[in-house]
Amino acid sequence: MTSFISRLYKQTRGFPTIGLLALAVSAAASAATTSLNQSWDFYRDDARTADTVDKVPAGGWSKVDLPHTARLEAKMPVNAWQGSAYYKKSFDAKVAPGEQAILRFEGAMNVADVWVNGKHLGTHLGGYLPFSYDVTPHLKAGGGNELVVRINNEDNAVTGPKPLKDLDYIQYGGIYRDVTLTVKPAVHISDEMLSNTEAGGGVFITYPQVDKKAAIVRVKAEVCNTADEARTAQLSQRLMFKNARVADGADKIELAAGECRHVTRDLKVERPQLWSPKSPNLYALQTTVSSKGARDVVTTRAGIRRIVLEKGKLLVNGEPTFLRGVNRHQEYPYVGYALSPQADYRDALLIKRAGFDYVRLSHYPHSPAFMAAADELGLMVLPGIPGWQYFNPDPAFSAQVLKTCSEMVRRDRNHPSVLAWECSLNETQMPDQLIEKLHNTVHREYPGDQAYSAGWVPQTYDVYLQARQHRLDDKKPLPNKALIVSEYGDWEYYAMNAGFNQTAWGDLKEADRSSRQLLTDGEKRLLQQAKNLAESHDDNFKTGAVADGYWVMFDYARGYAPDLESSGVMSIDRLPKFSAEFFRSQRSAAEKSAKWGGGPMVFIASHWTKESSPQVRVFSNTDEVELFLNGKSLGRVKSGPSKTHPNLAHPPLEFDAGQFQAGTLKAVAYLNGRKVAEHVVQTPAAPVKLDVAVDDLAVKSTAGDLVFIRAKLLDANGTVVPESGKSVTFAAADGYEIVGPGTVATEAGIASVLVRVKGGKGAINAEAGTLRGRL
């Protein structure tokens, strides 16, 4: 897992990270990428008086690093920040004649104005996708350049979606993803966002032929000459698998001064190692262009695979596949969207471990780091454009929507993890003309038969996305195309109207029937959530869907309401609820990986206290389960479809303990008569100590990483005491900095604090009354 950080490609940017570049390029003149993430001056214009950077008051600046959120929010934000803020940074850059300097932003919310040395480079609309500028003519030869950015995340009629007061999630402000400066040699591979070429720019990999015997890897690269003279260049492609050369190709090209040209080369791969959710094999494509002793090297990760999406059918490399999935918002508590790449990877890892192979990226493009993690772990993803229950008839709005669709495909087209493209305004009455244009945009940006458009309306799109709450009252027949259950398990258990009008709350269901259950709500309600999920997931199989996506993986801040949206199978602090174990039990016991675990499992969904139900629920993906109470068998039950869950291979199992008896519950799971897994739950006693540990999932932290520190309430036997609401105070020293409050309450016996890694060895102390713990 740790290899991900060292091998993380910024593949969608058209160039690799600094570490990879150092490995791929010799000491000869070459492209150089510099991170601009460190040491910015920051000013948040809460007074709304600084309409220009010159009006920032003296002494108003503070020092920050990127990724950065404009204001830390409470875990349950009320009146989340909206406004303008300024970022300012000095930097040096050496640019020789003919070279090109490219300034690139991976994400800045939501409207960004950029100046270099007082020159306004432009205004970028939309907070989720990259934008680049050629800053070559604006740099000072002697260094001492100044970069100024003004961001604004207020409600915007052109970018949408609906205003924050009605929006059920937050668009956090700030420059929350990377900023880089790349100096390219005169002849180089273009930046795909700067190029702004339909189905072009940078490096674009497609696979016109794929089977187990052979594959064609088609590489389309745009080469530019920014010298003031004609140049001859050599463009070469080298495909590698696990450091072994697989295929090569080269082209000699002539470029006039100022000319850019696309060059396509096919590479034949014998017996390819195909990418799939079960076997996420990745190749590395090195694209090199050389001219007059200088060269530019771009390394792009590639996954060779073929997808067929039709009604009732998903084939991945010819294999029939059903994708069990989940929706995800990309936020963390306090910092919002400003995640570290390791935090994004940990989210992907938690999703894969929980039994999912598919993620709907709701409701906007997620970070390059998450996309790269999905490639590596074998998560198929559905990227979507921003949009939810909002349409503006102004032509500028539709133009922005279409532009966002193009840029999303352009950024993420090389990721093998992409299943389809949700260029659709979710739950929005879109004009037919816009629907047609969005569908066509997907296919123009990604020609061939390996791009699928997806939308929530039944017409035009290649894939129909239908939420279960909409299906329940829908009497119309399903269209003749692939169906994905876009959302399920939340709204239909939350409100009787279960439709579009989220503000019509006169008919809310009782809280204990809902899927919106916090980790602190206790066993009974957590079991109700798991029951809802099992019922609705079972029901999805009756539709002929090729995938479904539970709403939602992690609890998140609603923004317009003073609570968390709590239907997550994990808390906002990434602690599992019983539902996460249910989904884990739905993955075949035969599937396992050194990266994400898997294999046979069994889980007792009980803390076994006086408040626990004697009807004990157990989740397992094996043939049989036997449950013991204090050494006495409560029965051995076969797993498999049942009257209540006819479509689940591994429905929840129930055992009758008669009445509560303090002691030990032990579940033993069998495959083919052989014991393969067990889970033990003990009645907790009074807490006597705090166990403090870093929850990094074995993903190596570096400076700037965000990671949770956990303090568990343990009894004398080492059992977690599932007490909620107990106050725990953390104190950080040396290599850690606490983000958000240092005093937090336990949730089911665990207190979580978010820390930023500063580098070096860190220390954390925790105390809860007389209890002490130390990391």
Give the model confidence (pLDDT) of 429-451 as tens digits.
Answer: 999 999 999 999 999 999 999 99
The arithmetic mean of pLDDT across residues 598-624, rounded, is 98
Per-residue pLDDT at 30: 65
> Is the peptide bond between 110 and the residue preceding it cis, with omega within 30 degrees of 0?
yes
**Per-residue pLDDT at 510 exceeds 90:** no
**Per-residue pLDDT at 5 exceeds 70:** no
Amino acid at 305: R
Per-residue pLDDT at 739: 98
Per-residue pLDDT at 509: 76
Residue with tokens 């629907």: 435
Per-residue pLDDT at 141: 85
Distances, alpha carbon 104 to alpha carbons 122, 176, 343, in Å: 13, 13, 22
Torsion on CA atoms 360, 364, 369, 373, rounded to nearest 10: 10
CB 514 within 8 A of CB 494: yes
> What token pair was written down for 234?
């050599």
The per-residue pLDDT for range 663-678, each reduced to its tens digit, is: 999 999 999 999 999 9
| pLDDT-based confidence at residue 22 (cuts at 50, 70, 90) | very low
The arithmetic mean of pLDDT across residues 639-655, rounded, is 97
Q: Which residues are bridge partners to 593 per DSSP?
A: 597
Strands 174-175 and 108-109: antiparallel
Per-residue pLDDT at 499: 58
SS3 231: strand
Greatest Cα pair distance in the chain: 88
**Per-residue pLDDT at 534 exceeds 50:** yes
| H or E element at residue 239 | strand 231-241
d(CA 516, CA 537): 16
CB 461 within 8 A of CB 455: yes
Q: In what order do the strands lie in the sheet with 111-116?
A: 62-64, 40-44, 84-91, 145-152, 111-116, 119-125
Instruction: Share the mean pLDDT of the chain.
Output: 94
Q: Please, what is the Cα angle at 107 between 102 and 111, to 5 degrees?
A: 100
555-559, 584-588, 684-688: lowest mean pLDDT where? 555-559
d(CA 409, CA 220): 15
The arithmetic mean of pLDDT across residues 131-153, rounded, is 96
d(CA 411, CA 177): 14
> Is the peptide bond between 552 and the residue preceding it cis, with omega within 30 degrees of 0?
yes
**Per-residue pLDDT at 7 exceeds 60:** no
Q: Please, what is the Cα angle at 350 between 749 and 642, to 5 degrees?
A: 85
Question: What percent of the chain has a predicted confidence (pLDDT) above 70?
Answer: 94
Strands 323-328 and 358-361: parallel
**Per-residue pLDDT at 551 exceeds 60:** yes
Per the document, the length of the chain is 775
SS3 471: helix
Per-residue pLDDT at 3: 37
Per-residue pLDDT at 24: 28
> What token pair was written down for 100?
């090109």
**Per-residue pLDDT at 346 exceeds 80:** yes
**Per-residue pLDDT at 605 exceeds 80:** yes
25-34, 188-197, 244-253, 291-300: lowest mean pLDDT where? 25-34
Per-residue pLDDT at 620: 98
12-26, 242-256, 290-304: lowest mean pLDDT where? 12-26
543-562: b or e for each residue (b if 16 or more CB lie within 10 Å)? bebbbbbbbbbbbbbbbbee
Q: What are phi and psi of 647, to 5 degrees?
A: -110, 0
CB 277 within 8 A of CB 380: yes
**Per-residue pLDDT at 334 exceeds 90:** yes
Per-residue pLDDT at 319: 98
Q: What is the pTM of this model?
A: 0.95
Strands 380-383 and 358-361: parallel
The arithmetic mean of pLDDT across residues 69-88, rounded, is 96
Per-residue pLDDT at 507: 66
**Per-residue pLDDT at 502 exceeds 80:** no
Per-residue pLDDT at 143: 82
Residue with tokens 């035969």: 590
Per-residue pLDDT at 561: 85
Per-residue pLDDT at 508: 66
